[in-house]
Amino acid sequence: MKTPVPDYLASVLARCDANDGGALADYIPELAHADPNKLALALSTIDGEIYSAGDDQYEFSIQSMSKPFAYALALQHHGIEKVLEKVGVEPSGEAFNQISLDSHSNTPKNPMINSGAITTHSLIPAETGELRAEKLRAFLSEMAGRELSFDEEVYQSELKTAYRNLSIGYMLRTVGVLESDPVDIVEGYIRQCAIKVTVKDLARIASVFANGGIDPHTGKCMLDRMVVRQVLSVMISCGMYDAAGDWLTTVGIPAKSGVAGGILGVLPGQVGVAVFSPKLDEHGNSVRGIEIMERLSQDMGLHLMEGTPSAQTIVQGIYYLDEQKQIRVYELRGVLQFTETEMLLRTIQQEPDAPHSIVLDLSHITLIHDVGRRMLLEGIDRLIDDAHEVLVVDPDGLFKAETTDLGHEVKHYANIQAIPH
């Protein structure tokens, strides 16, 4: 049997094929010459499985889809507080042009409009615009699993008509949000927008965000969870339209579009997606891209508010290890956040009082959050107070490794050891 998922994606593309609306971006000659019929879609699960359909090998410039990644780099380097001093997180509303600043703070309203993105670019830790663009290219290449390159023609073409961005740059320099030559910063920002990607690259990069910052292919932590949370929060409220509420209700996937025709989406805990089709609507979003995102949301239930309950699956099984019923095993599966740990503890609390050993088998746990660790430690304390012996099977060291750092009292630790499965 072959999984039908690729066929689903192909059929989504096929249904959009008839949609002939929109027009090529006209303000950059290079983009105006794009092939309007290109159409591609890719989807990556958070464990790294990638499905794709259409022109999935076709490279296009990343454009504004670079904004959330530059924001992520800035947040990772400076911390959220520092970046907030320079760029806000509020939707810009219906402002007809994006030059205006927040009237109280005199800073850009969010990192997804050009003024915020130029500021964000300036916060990538490197000396010049060229080096900052290179730093972003390297970061995206690592997540994409291949060396990405710049589209030099697009870069040169955009440089020539960069009036709006230069206007924004000088304005940001006036108010002190930018602290050095705005021309270098604007040129670096334009170069950042010229990184070439395919939908498969983007879906793969997006899956790192869907997976809380950990690259599913390498297991490497690329970004702190708090950075990912911040980036995705800003994408959902400021990423797509002036009309944030419309996108949130009808699609409900944190997303960002680029003027070359790409749209990138991240549904946390579930999937990363990317689409490409060059014809744009009046907001500068890919017409077919929007339609595909809507189908993914409506037909496939991919929406932020379609919460998937995971608590009920945390306890995979409960059984006695021995015939005397002296050793009782809790086989766990999934991740331990608040709701899963609450369910686990609620189940354990029905354990009879008689003194016997309890084994918590974490072999199939893939992630333990802080709150899960703290709650689990507290639960183990209480079991010990009730005269149980507790053993933890933790082959990957998820639990042990970090709990010692937390300075938890050592006396309980004597009892917690891995037992062979």
Residue numbers belonging to the annotated binding site for substrate: 64, 114, 158, 165, 189, 241, 259
Strand pairing class (315-320; 271-276):
unpaired
The distance of closest approach from Cβ of residue 7 to a second copy in the complex, given in angstroms and rounded to an integer, is: 8
Closest CA to 211 of 266, 248, 255, 273: 266
Question: Which span (64-72, 125-133, 166-174, 402-410) binds a second copy, by CB under 8 A?
Answer: 166-174
Our finding on whether 378 is near a second copy (CB under 8 A) is: yes
Coil/strand/helix, residue 410: helix
Sign of CA dihedral 227, 232, 235, 236: negative
Our finding on whether 180 is near a second copy (CB under 8 A) is: no
The distance of closest approach from Cβ of residue 139 to a second copy in the complex, given in angstroms and rounded to an integer, is: 20
Encode 132-185 in three state secondary structure. Answer: HHHHHHHHHHHHHCCCCCECHHHHHHHHHCCHHHHHHHHHHHHCCCCCCCHHHH
The distance of closest approach from Cβ of residue 162 to a second copy in the complex, given in angstroms and rounded to an integer, is: 8
Six-digit token string for 119: 């500021």
**Using the rule CB under 8 A, which residue among 306, 322, 396, 402 binds a second copy?**
306
Our finding on whether 232 is near a second copy (CB under 8 A) is: yes
Q: How many residues bind a second copy (CB under 8 A)?
A: 107
The distance of closest approach from Cβ of residue 148 to a second copy in the complex, given in angstroms and rounded to an integer, is: 26
Question: Which span (14-22, 34-42, 133-141, 332-340) binds a second copy, by CB under 8 A?
Answer: 332-340
Our finding on whether 87 is near a second copy (CB under 8 A) is: no
Residues 396-415 that bind a second copy (CB under 8 A): none
* Residue 331, beta-bridge partner list: 317, 361
**Using the rule CB under 8 A, which residue among 20, 127, 282, 305 binds a second copy?**
305
Our finding on whether 188 is near a second copy (CB under 8 A) is: no
**Using the rule CB under 8 A, which residue among 141, 371, 412, 418 binds a second copy?**
371
**Using the rule CB under 8 A, which residue among 15, 19, 24, 45 binds a second copy?**
45
The distance of closest approach from Cβ of residue 167 to a second copy in the complex, given in angstroms and rounded to an integer, is: 3
Q: How far is CA 289 from CA 85, 108, 157, 274, 384, in A?
A: 34, 27, 24, 9, 56
**Using the rule CB under 8 A, which residue among 5, 126, 327, 418 binds a second copy?**
5
The distance of closest approach from Cβ of residue 299 to a second copy in the complex, given in angstroms and rounded to an integer, is: 6
What is the rounded distance in angstroms from the CA atom of residue 405 to the CA atom of residue 385? Answer: 23
| CB of 235 closer than 8 Å to CB of 75 | no
Residues 194-213 that bind a second copy (CB under 8 A): 210-212
Our finding on whether 225 is near a second copy (CB under 8 A) is: yes
Our finding on whether 30 is near a second copy (CB under 8 A) is: no
Q: Phi/psi at 414 (nearest 5 deg)?
A: -55, -35
Our finding on whether 348 is near a second copy (CB under 8 A) is: yes
Our finding on whether 383 is near a second copy (CB under 8 A) is: yes
| CB of 69 closer than 8 Å to CB of 136 | yes
Residue number, 149 or 233, with CB nearest to a second copy: 233
Taking the mean position of all CA atoms in its chain, how far away is CA 260?
Answer: 21
Residue number, 8 or 150, with CB nearest to a second copy: 8
Six-digit token string for 164: 């709006």
Our finding on whether 64 is near a second copy (CB under 8 A) is: no
Q: How far is CA 212 from CA 4, 79, 216, 367, in A?
A: 27, 17, 10, 11
Neighbours of 103 (CB within 10 A): 7
Q: Where are the alpha helices (DSSP H) in 242-320?
A: 244-250, 287-299
**Using the rule CB under 8 A, which residue among 229, 356, 400, 408 binds a second copy?**
229
Interface mask toward a second copy for 112-131; x: CB under 8 A: --------------------
The distance of closest approach from Cβ of residue 354 to a second copy in the complex, given in angstroms and rounded to an integer, is: 12
Our finding on whether 163 is near a second copy (CB under 8 A) is: yes
Sign of CA dihedral 392, 393, 395, 396: negative
Query: What residue has token string 């498969």?
Result: 200
Coil/strand/helix, residue 58: coil
What is the rounded distance in angstroms from the CA atom of residue 294 to the CA atom of residue 309? Answer: 23
Residues 133-162 that bind a second copy (CB under 8 A): none
**Using the rule CB under 8 A, which residue among 20, 26, 81, 103 binds a second copy?**
103
**Using the rule CB under 8 A, which residue among 20, 26, 93, 410 binds a second copy?**
93
Closest CA to 90 of 104, 79, 77: 104
Our finding on whether 234 is near a second copy (CB under 8 A) is: yes
Six-digit token string for 176: 């002190």
Neighbours of 305 (CB within 10 A): 7
Our finding on whether 230 is near a second copy (CB under 8 A) is: yes
